[in-house]
Amino acid sequence: MKIPLAKVDLLDEDIRRVTDALRSGWIMQGPRVEAFEKKVAQFCHAPHAVATSSGTTALHLALEALGIRRGDEVIVPSFSWIASANSIHYCGATPVFCDVDPETYNMTTETVERRVTKKTKAILIVHQFGMPCDMKAFAALAARKKFALVEDAACAIGSTYRGEPIGSCRYSRATCLSFHPRKVVTTGEGGMVLTKAADIADTARTLRNHGMPPSPPSDTFTHIGYNYRMTDMQAALGVGQVARLAQTIRQRRSIAAHYGKRLKNISGIRLPREPGECESNFQSYMIRLAGKLAAARDSISARLASAGVATRKSIAPIHRQPCYSKRARAVLAETDRLAADGLVLPLFSGMAEQEVDFVCEQLEQTIARSVH
């Protein structure tokens, strides 16, 4: 057996929609992008949706539309994809890195509060690997300290918090999605800003299209904007995936549950924790190797690869990257430990139970060999 870390979930009907878009003669941002925005907005219970060229550009637009600028600080976890921090930097603001929880891998109000200063203007809340953060706790903190909440939900489309989909923006000003192939819905490259606020949506639409407001139609540029548009070909690829997203999430959750059952009695493995008020889409399933096994993580990953099981060695923390390390003085102990002992296991739509079993058997054997 050969088991990849992830697989893109594309059906013939998805491909047909793309060729329909091509044959229509309209291939740039047009009716299909609008239809895709409506579908995602509906699924996520978001009043407004603005499609973009990537998750990164969605984050940049959301932060700029919120007025984040030079001199501001935005708190963000280091245990994230580097674009979370870069998008803050694009606004001229400073990313301030916080630590994360050892079991959910998410930032918490405790880890954030340590990093608050007079310059803190916003918190970029990353729902890591699709696991929702405790939004209610963050909303209370934000109300007390008077800063804005923005959600980096690049990994979290289809996850729910207190029974409501991520993207509803009940607790935040804006939520950003990514449609990179490593995410649960993909358009090749793509992203989206979701918001309740009509003015944020308007500004994002304007900035996305070179700074030209979408209505009334004119050749007037009110902002120095960007070209962050999505194409109709990309949107066509996403529509069908959103239509079957509820089923995709059920599948992913049942695979994660099977992993949990199989792995919970293997000593030396720590499983991810899903808080009671959250339902993760399990964009990724990361375990931790405890004790002596932690030091053997890289060789365990290599042995699994030769047994046909692809894994990923956690996330490279942003504050350890050469482009940020000089500025980041924070001690982020849990982030460093997670980077060293985390192992992401294969999980994809359509993964069979026997494939999960195979991964677990190989993991168990590899661990047994590593202990001796």
Binding site for ligand PLP (CB under 6 A): 54-56, 80-81, 83-84, 126, 152, 154-155, 178, 180, 191
Alpha helices in the chain (DSSP H): 12-24, 31-44, 55-65, 83-90, 109-113, 135-145, 198-208, 232-243, 245-263, 292-295, 297-306, 322-325, 333-341, 353-371
The CB-of-238 to ligand PLP minimum distance in angstroms stands at 12
Give the residue with the Cβ less far from ligand PLP, 233 or 296. Answer: 233
Which residue of this chain has its Cβ atom nearest to ligand PLP in the complex? 55
Those residues whose C-beta lies under 8 Å from the C-beta of residue 356, and which sit 6 or more positions away, are 255, 258, 259, 262
Give the residue with the Cβ less far from ligand PLP, 147 or 179. Answer: 179
The CB-of-53 to ligand PLP minimum distance in angstroms stands at 8
At position 205, the amino acid (one-letter code) is R
Q: Provide φ and ψ at 73, rounded to 5°.
A: -115, 140
Using the 8-state DSSP alphabet, how is residue 313 labeled?
-
Using the 8-state DSSP alphabet, how is residue 46 labeled?
-
The CB-of-282 to ligand PLP minimum distance in angstroms stands at 14
Give the residue with the Cβ less far from ligand PLP, 88 or 300. Answer: 88
The CB-of-83 to ligand PLP minimum distance in angstroms stands at 4
> How far apart, in Å, are the Cα atoms of 268 and each of 84, 102, 261, 295, 362?
31, 15, 15, 12, 15
The CB-of-129 to ligand PLP minimum distance in angstroms stands at 8
The CB-of-319 to ligand PLP minimum distance in angstroms stands at 15
Give the residue with the Cβ less far from ligand PLP, 127 or 270. Answer: 127
Give the residue with the Cβ less far from ligand PLP, 178 or 314. Answer: 178
> How far apart, in Å, are the Cα atoms of 253 and each of 80, 220, 242, 270?
22, 48, 17, 18
The CB-of-36 to ligand PLP minimum distance in angstroms stands at 15
Buried b (16+ CB within 10 A) or exposed e, 164-187: ebbbbbbbbbbbbbbbbeebbbbb
The CB-of-127 to ligand PLP minimum distance in angstroms stands at 8
Give the residue with the Cβ less far from ligand PLP, 90 or 358. Answer: 90
> How far apart, in Å, are the Cα atoms of 78 and each of 2, 9, 107, 136, 154?
32, 29, 9, 22, 15
Give the residue with the Cβ less far from ligand PLP, 226 or 358. Answer: 226
Give the residue with the Cβ less far from ligand PLP, 37 or 355. Answer: 37
Using the 8-state DSSP alphabet, how is residue 314 labeled?
-
